Amino acid sequence: MIKRYTLMKLHMILASVVFPITVMFFITGVFYISDIKPESARVEFRTELDQPLQPDAERLLAIARVELASRGIAEPLGEAKLEWDSDLEIFYLDWDGNNHWLKLRPSTRSMHVAVLKIYTPSWYGRFMSLHKGHGKDSFNYFVIAMVIVMMLTLISGVWMGLSLPKQRKLVLKSMGAGFLLFLILVLYSQFI
pLDDT tens string 123-159: 998 898 888 887 788 989 999 999 999 998 888 889 8
**Looking at the chain, which residues constitute the CATH 3.30.310 domain(s)?**
40-121
**Topology, domain 40-121:** TATA-Binding Protein (3.30.310)
Neighbours of 148 (CB within 10 A): 12
SS3 for 165-187, per residue?
A: HHHHHHHHHHHHHHHHHHHHHHH
**Confidence at residue 134, expressed as pLDDT on a 0 to 100 scale:** 78
Does residue 86 carry a pLDDT above 90?
A: no
Q: Do 106 and 53 contact (CB within 8 A), yes or no?
A: yes
Does residue 98 carry a pLDDT above 80?
A: no
Between CA 107 and CA 97, with CA 113 as vertex, the angle to 5 degrees is 75
pLDDT in tens, 69-80: 999 998 888 888
Report the residue count for the chain: 192
**Bridge-partner residues for 94, per DSSP?**
81, 103
**Confidence at residue 118, expressed as pLDDT on a 0 to 100 scale:** 93
**Confidence at residue 65, expressed as pLDDT on a 0 to 100 scale:** 93
Stretch 49-68: mean pLDDT, rounded? 90
**Confidence at residue 171, expressed as pLDDT on a 0 to 100 scale:** 94
For 38, which DSSP code?
A: P
* Strand, coil or helix: 105: strand
Beta strands in 5-78 (DSSP E): 40-48
Specify which of 51-60, 135-144, 165-174 reaches the highest per-range mean pLDDT.
165-174
pTM beyond 0.85, yes or no: no
* Strand, coil or helix: 77: coil
In 3D, which of 101, 82, 102 has the Cα closest to residue 93? 82
Amino acid letter, residue 5 = Y
Please give the Cα distance from 105 to 114 (Å, whole number). Answer: 6
Amino acid letter, residue 133 = G
From the number of C-beta atoms within 10 Å of its C-beta (0-12, 13-18, 19+), residue 28 rates as buried
pLDDT in tens, 9-36: 888 898 899 899 999 999 999 999 999 9
Stretch 176-186: mean pLDDT, rounded? 95
**Confidence at residue 178, expressed as pLDDT on a 0 to 100 scale:** 95
**Bridge-partner residues for 44, per DSSP?**
117
What separation in angstroms does the CA of 28 have from each of 42, 73, 79, 126, 134? Answer: 22, 28, 25, 10, 14
**Confidence at residue 96, expressed as pLDDT on a 0 to 100 scale:** 86
Name the average pLDDT for the chain: 89
